A and B are shown apart, each in its own frame.
Chain A
Amino acid sequence: MILIQSISQDYSTSVVIQWLCDTNEDFIRLNNKSFIDQITFSENIFRIKINDKIIDLSQFKSYWFRRGSFDFESKLNQNVEMKIPIEGYLKGENLIIKEAIDHYLLKNVKSIGNYKTSQNNKIIACEVAKNMGFKIPDFIITTEKIELLKFYKKHPQIISKSLYGLPGFLANNVDYSAKTRIIELSDIKDCTDNFGVSLFQQYVEKKIELRVFFLNDKFYPSAIFSQNDVQTKIDFRNYNKDKPNRVVPYKLPDDVIEKLKKINQELALNTGSYDLILTPKNEYYFLEVNPIGQFAQVSLPCNYYLEKEIAKELSNA
């Protein structure tokens, strides 16, 4: 039996499952809305009931943490009056059980990804990458206009980036999707002396961008030719639908692969996607590593069949 933790709309999960079905593997898929009905957890029992199925966790041969997390609290907290006061407490309790299950699975069954390492910190990852010998863009996290101005003067061009994830929301009919963008002097002038915590980075000239999926120290690099198009030059996620960027297979030099392997070890990652830059001077910059990144964008254009590779890993446990 294979355990898959995902979210309901995740396309890549469905494709992996299709591959599992093709080889008649048994699996259970938990989504973010899956409720665990019953749980008993002691030193020698570890049993959950989900979708009317009772499963002993020792029955699982492999575990894929894709994204999301399962949930007990919503079911527990049906009492209207108690709902708000008790919510924080239940969240905390829930988190501990989640972490314990994650830990148990990680220790006892073959795992791809896990809940703990999915909570990735950009700044720490950059620090690790630097220690492994990667170049990283100079950065500053600040709330002060004066510091931002100093940083601006230090570099020919700077960008702003979100610290966590890829926020995108609508408020007052304005689309606040925080993609990476260039910060001009006029932007800084418009700032108040103090603003919300923000991350700024030196803008690094790119020849190509690299998105590198990895699974157990096997690397599947793709090169994104984003620089011929002003729309995608700064952030290739400003996809040009009429004229999409070319994405093709790439071969990383061995020394870069060795460095990436070391980062994997340091951050305890066995799957995810690296974002790197190759500069016009052929230097590799580390941008970030995303343990739960979308990999269909690497798999399909490069014809890598990554979903099949994941299914194979899960089956051969």
Chain B
Amino acid sequence: MKTKNRYYKLFADCFAVKGYSRSVICDITRKKFDFIPNSLYEIIIDEVIDIFSYHNILDDESTEIFNEYIDFLLREEYIYEILDISEKDNYPAIDLKFDYPAKISNAVIDYNGDYDLFVKSICQLELMNCNFLIVRFLIPVKIIEIENILLLINDSIIFSIDIIVDYSIDYNEECMLEMMLKYPRINIVTIFSSPTTSHNKTILNNGMGHLIFSQKEYNKDEILKIKGENNFVINIKLFTESYNYNNFFHKKVFISEIGDVKNSPFAKIIFGNIQNNSLENIINHTDFKKIWYVKKDFIEVCKDCEFRYMCVDNRNPVQKKVNEWYFEDECHYNPYINKWNFDEQNLTFPAFNTTLL
């Protein structure tokens, strides 16, 4: 019996990303991914999946596997049926451009008590339209000192602030949450070297306001590498940013406790100091922005990894040639054999805490 041909199309919000030995379908809307074999990748990137054209070239056994794949894709709603082949043009792909309305979008500031310098840093960041800030307190501070910092942020363009601080005897859940209610721009407060471990949320319910007490000791120089699939973040902004730029360095800046400006807390080169130069001048140094464009597609190993558009990784890439970079130390994940080099369940941090840390 001759059945009618069928045509399918991959939904535009589902991106197929090919790795060395397997691929993923990255489902932007539903914020999840599924592994698929590379052979299926080659099929679903077709503008239209023409069922008959595959049936015609496959033997019986392969046809059965092929049909199972199609069923899986339909069940997960990764593909949809189009009735007429010409209909495919009605569903254009999502443009993968990325843009952000700021010269600097995220900043990390180390604070060791020099309030004047901090004020200066904030003013400079305001001029850059910076929206996200992480403050790392390098010295023990009283709550009132944290509040003094927060007061500066309250009316600024910075609408999200994360705080990293060591435990002090006058900190408890109650007073911290109270402070966080007063300053709704607080995203995450992480208190290290605490007597106990806990995770709380304010009642603000805007997705922000996380309070974390951790027994771990904070090591500000430790590069936290990707620890497992929980660390991956799936959304259109990160996907498109990673597609075009290095998502860890692009439009990010680090200002040290003495005002030195670097690409990240873990970077080696100092590009200037805000005590004697404007942030704008410093970041306009061509070499400062060079690393922004080192997307994962230009980095060895990562370029073969199926996670490259959902992975924020804070190692410093080293240049080999034009558009060829590598990392000196290895990622915990090996995309050639699809294995993690440790048990990935051992995660102490929730996934949202990975950005820039």
Contacts and interface: CB of A to CB of B under 8 A. Distances in A.
Does chain A bind chain B?
A: yes
B90 A250 contact: yes
Contacts of A19: 101
A303 B97 CA distance: 8
A21 B99 contact: no
Interface in A96-119: none
Interface in A238-279: 243-251
Lowest 7 A-B CB distances belong to which pairs?
Answer: A248-B12, A22-B101, A19-B101, A18-B101, A249-B92, A303-B94, A251-B90
B129 A21 contact: yes
B30 A301 contact: no
Given A225-B80, A249-B92, A250-B91, A303 B236 contact: yes
Please classify the interface of chain A as helix (H, G, I), strand (E, B), loop, or mixed, using the class held by over half of its residues: mixed
Given A225-B11, A250-B92, 19 more contacts: A18-B131, A22-B101, A223-B90, A246-B29, A246-B77, A248-B11, A248-B91, A249-B91, A249-B92, A250-B90, A250-B91, A251-B90, A300-B236, A301-B29, A301-B94, A301-B236, A303-B240, A305-B97, A308-B101
Nearest to A307: B101
B236 A251 contact: no
User: For this complex, into which size category does the number of interface residues on chain A fall?
Assistant: 20 to 34
Contacts of A308: 99, 101
A210 B105 CA distance: 33
Interface string A16-29: 00110110000000
B94 A249 contact: yes
Interface of A: 15, 18-19, 21-22, 223, 225, 228, 243-251, 300-305, 308, 311
Given A18-B129, A248-B13, A303-B96, A223 B91 contact: yes
Interface residues of B, number: 26
A308 B100 CA distance: 9
Interface string B72-88: 00000100100000000
B124 to A, nearest CB: 15
Contact of B30 (A15, A22, A244, A250): A244
9 contacts: A18-B131, A22-B101, A246-B13, A247-B29, A249-B93, A249-B94, A249-B95, A300-B236, A301-B94
Nearest to A17: B101
B89 interface: yes
Contacts of B96: 303
Given A247-B13, A248-B12, A22 B102 contact: yes
Contacts of A243: 30
Contacts of A22: 101-103, 129
B103 to A, nearest CB: 7
B138 interface: no
Nearest to B92: A249
A162 to B, nearest CB: 27
Given A21-B157, A228-B77, A308-B101, A246 B11 contact: yes
Contacts of A244: 29-30
A308 B97 CA distance: 13
A257 to B, nearest CB: 13
Contact of A248 (B94, B97, B129): B94
Contact of B12 (A228, A249, A305): A249
A248 B103 CA distance: 29
Nearest to A229: B77
